[in-house]
Amino acid sequence: MDSMTCVPAIELNRVSMTKPVLLGNSLTELDIIRDVSFSVPEGEILALIGPSGSGKSTLMRMINRMEDPTSGQILLFGSDISGLDVRELRRRVGMVSQTPALLPGKVSDNIVYGPSLRGEPCNPEEYLELVGLEPELVSRPASSLSVGQQQRMCIARALANRPNILLLDEPTSALDRTAARNIIELICNLNRQLGLTVIIVTHVMEHAQAVATRVAMLVGGVLIEEGAAADFFEGPKTQIGHRFLKGELTEDGR
């Protein structure tokens, strides 16, 4: 593919976000995200990494408009997301969070939720198979699944909306090592099978290295590194990137 003529799946163009915080008696605007620009080509898996509090979750929430930037633009296949219908945006950009977010009822109720809102047909067994769960689980109460199975079900629920992009914010942090590795493998397979574009936040560098084709690293809301994952893991461009990989960086980036 000619990268010069391809519209990226996601493009952030000078995105900033401030939040009012009370410091003593006065309200001050705190910089959470500062002038961040990068893009994710279609079909790639970007690992969004950085110390705790660096703005990774905030950035993810902005991509499906749970929060809006203070300035800058976010484009989905070239369209500014601020002009898109939020429901349609969230259908196209699926989000899976750190701890499985269950809807009440059965596994099937969880999976068909999005399509049924739109009056579209959906075969829940098909999506269970896609995420490596037994189709027989379909009639079980969602809350009776193990946490690892619940996380797979949440991925199936997002996939049932036939998204272009999947956002995963630390999807393995509630899981044991084996379940976590299996979820990482599942993400690789889904990317290969469906050509799904993925942005995954993880603090486990082995996971980032196993899954990602690209890496973006934030420190204090600033984009420090961005590029091919292979290059980053071979040797980050910045001193701060090196120190982060060695586990030497403190939360405030010093």
Ligand X SMILES: Nc1ncnc2c1ncn2[C@@H]1O[C@H](COP(=O)(O)OP(=O)(O)OP(=O)(O)O)[C@@H](O)[C@H]1O
**Residues forming the site for Mg ion (CB under 5 A):** 57
Of positions 19, 87, 118, 254, contacts ligand X by CB under 6 A: 19
Q: Which does 16 bind (CB under 5 to 8 A by kind): Mg ion, ligand X, none?
A: none
Q: Which does 220 bind (CB under 5 to 8 A by kind): Mg ion, ligand X, none?
A: none
Residue with tokens 């979820």: 183
CB of 206 to ligand X, least distance (A): 17
16 binds ligand X (CB under 6 A): no
Q: What is the DSSP letter of 102?
A: P
Residue number, 57 or 70, with CB nearest to Mg ion? 57
Cα separation, 193 vs 168, in Å, equals 18
Q: At 240, phi and psi to the nearest 5?
A: -65, -35
What residues between 33 and 62 interact with ligand X by CB under 6 A?
A: 50, 52-58
Cα separation, 155 vs 149, in Å, equals 10
Please state whether beta strands 26-40 and 10-23 pair in parallel, antiparallel, or not at all (unpaired).
Answer: antiparallel
> Which secondary structure element, helix H or strand E, spans residue 93, and what is its range?
strand 93-96
Residue number, 61 or 237, with CB nearest to ligand X? 61
- Both tokens of 238, joined, read 């910045």
CB of 213 to Mg ion, least distance (A): 22
Catalog residues that contact ligand X under the rule CB under 6 A. 19, 21, 30, 32, 50, 52-58
